[in-house]
Amino acid sequence: MGTPAIELKNITKTFGSIVANKDVCLTVNKGEILSILGENGSGKTTLMNMISGIYYPDHGHIYIDGNEVLIRSPKDAFKYKIGMIHQHFKLVDVFSATENIILGLKDEGKFSLKESEKKIREITSKYGFDLDPSKKIHEMSVSEKQTVEIIKVLYRGADILILDEPTAVLTPQETRKLFAVLRNMRDSGKAIIIITHKLHEVLSLSDRVSVLRKGQYIGTVNTAETNESELTEMMVGKKIELNIERTKVENTPDRLEIKNISCINREGVTLLNNVTFTAKAGEILGIAGIAGSGQRELLESIAGLQKLNGGEILYHDPQTGYTENLRDKSPVKIKELGVRLSFVPEDRLGMGLVGNMDIIDNMLLRNYRKGKSAFLERKKPKDLANKIIEELEVVTPSAKTPVRRLSGGNVQKVLVGREIAASPTVLMVAYPVRGLDINSSYLIYNLLNKQKESGVAVIFVGEDLDVLLELCDRIMVINSGKITGIVDANEATKEDIGLLMTKNDGGESDE
């Protein structure tokens, strides 16, 4: 093996009570591509931010070329020839590629765009990039912008490159091109770290893989000696018993039938690809997937907030027995049809609630329209607010406190409480326990279970596979907008779901 370019020893980083990284040890050699693999929230990005000077570790040591170094700021990171390419680009839109690349550099000697452009062209031809240095950023595709970001760090002489989920925004063809460039860079002796959760990319690109799980360093393996299922197991770990109650409901008629829905955004990216499934009354249907695989769009299209390019959303009304097609109907229209659909969105204060309004006015959101009067009726919302505060043990000075002043768990109780109070027939929840402590989480699980027992069709988008496996009846896995499988939660294992979440069934982005 080559000589180590950078070594991390026992790196620990905490944010308050949350441990983002614990005793992580890593080595990256010169002329090597190392993948860092892990689920959402496993601490990959935090770790890389410590190498690139954005965070400073609480404990541990970093060695570069065998010497211990302190990286206090991104400037220090540049000094040690470390360059990070972030997921979200930091470029000035109206500037050209060259201008963006040299921006912020203290120029020694004469400032000359021409000289810089020449140097950029040398870099592009050396590694096989495809870029016109004089093109303006706003005229560029996502992949070109990424190229600019990579050249930016190369221009500054980086020998250690870190790429944070570089393929998340790329098409398969662009991914192939990127990989070719990365290989060229490796062959010229650079050390490259890529953060990813796509297994096939790990296997096709990297020399070694390091796995993180919930902030813990699990291990490093040589890519040549491993396979998908071993990596998945390292990534998701063994099943943990959570003891969430799960009752079986006998009568489970179909409530919501989603047929072949597709959704393409303005940039032409497919967000939902021919999604078909059925949600049953008296059942919790879990939705698992890497963040940003289309979960949000799926729920929003059912709620009438997302325009679809094809397919049907059929609702079987339990009272009338009629079937309604909800596709492209507005939330108000859906409500008028008598569909009792409740939705707890991922963005609680930005969408589900209004942060500056008090609890009473937030109760009003769902049904302020009720009645012919031009004026608001606050009596019932007030009673509801007090009832939720009491029953769900919301910690708040009063019902007149703006919800943004409440803690995360209490905000969620208010939101879930309101949505459940509408006595829904379909209840959709997105990441309902994110950021909540154990007790609040269990309170939410119990609420969902009660809803299920009373015959509600619950759709639960979650990220913790242990929870999904214990709470849900069936789990549907979504992967890049496609449903890759629906499994029985009683029988499935974490590895099964992990594989479905990361597998690449198209096979086209591989080489």
Partner 1 sequence: MSNSATKKREPLFHIIKRPAIPMWQSLLIRAGAILAALIVAGVITYFFTGLNPISVYTTMIEGAIGTEKRIWNLLQGIALLLCVSLAVTPAFKMKFWNIGAEGQALMGGLASALCMILLSDKLSGGMLMLVMIVTSIVLGAVWALLPAIFKAKWNTNETLFTLMMNYIAMQIVSYFSYKYSVPKGSGSIGIINSSSKLGWFPSILDQKYLLNIIIVTVLTVLLYVYLKHSKHGYEISVVGESENTAKYIGINVKKVIIRTMLLSGAICGIAGLLMVAGTDHTIATGTVGGRGFTAIMVSWLAKFNPIMMFLTSFLIVFLEKGAIAISSEFDLNSSFSDIITGIIIFFIIGSEFFINYSIKFRESEKEGKNK
For residue 358, the minimal CB distance to partner 1 (Å) is: 11
Cβ-based neighbours of 370, under 8 Å, separated by 6 or more: 377
CA angle 330, 335, 341 (to 5 degrees): 95
Compare residues 208 and 340 and give the one whose CB is closer to partner 1.
340
For residue 52, the minimal CB distance to partner 1 (Å) is: 11
341 with 428: CB under 8 angstroms? Answer: yes
Compare residues 353 and 492 and give the one whose CB is closer to partner 1.
353
For residue 152, the minimal CB distance to partner 1 (Å) is: 17
Could you list the residues that contact partner 1 (CB under 8 A)? 16, 49, 53-56, 71-74, 303-305, 330-333, 335, 343, 345, 347, 350-357, 361, 364-366, 368-369, 374-376, 401-402, 405
Compare residues 268 and 397 and give the one whose CB is closer to partner 1.
397
For residue 93, the minimal CB distance to partner 1 (Å) is: 17
Compare residues 168 and 305 and give the one whose CB is closer to partner 1.
305
Rg of the Cα atoms in the chain: 25
> How many Å apart are CA 2 and CA 479, to the nearest integer?
36
- Regarding beta strands 208-213 and 32-37, do their DSSP bridges make them parallel or antiparallel, or are they unpaired? parallel
Compare residues 79 and 482 and give the one whose CB is closer to partner 1.
79
Cβ-based neighbours of 421, under 8 Å, separated by 6 or more: 363, 384, 387, 388
For residue 282, the minimal CB distance to partner 1 (Å) is: 26
Compare residues 72 and 239 and give the one whose CB is closer to partner 1.
72
For residue 417, the minimal CB distance to partner 1 (Å) is: 16
10 Å Cβ neighbour count for 367?
Answer: 16
Compare residues 246 and 378 and give the one whose CB is closer to partner 1.
378
Query: Which of 204-224 are b and which e, b meaning 16 or more Cβ less than 10 Å from the residue's Cβ?
Result: bbbbbbbbbbebbbbebbebe
Classified as helix, coil or strand, 274 is strand
Among 236, 208, 291, which residue's Cα sits nearest to residue 36? Answer: 208
265 with 271: CB under 8 angstroms? Answer: yes
For residue 73, the minimal CB distance to partner 1 (Å) is: 6
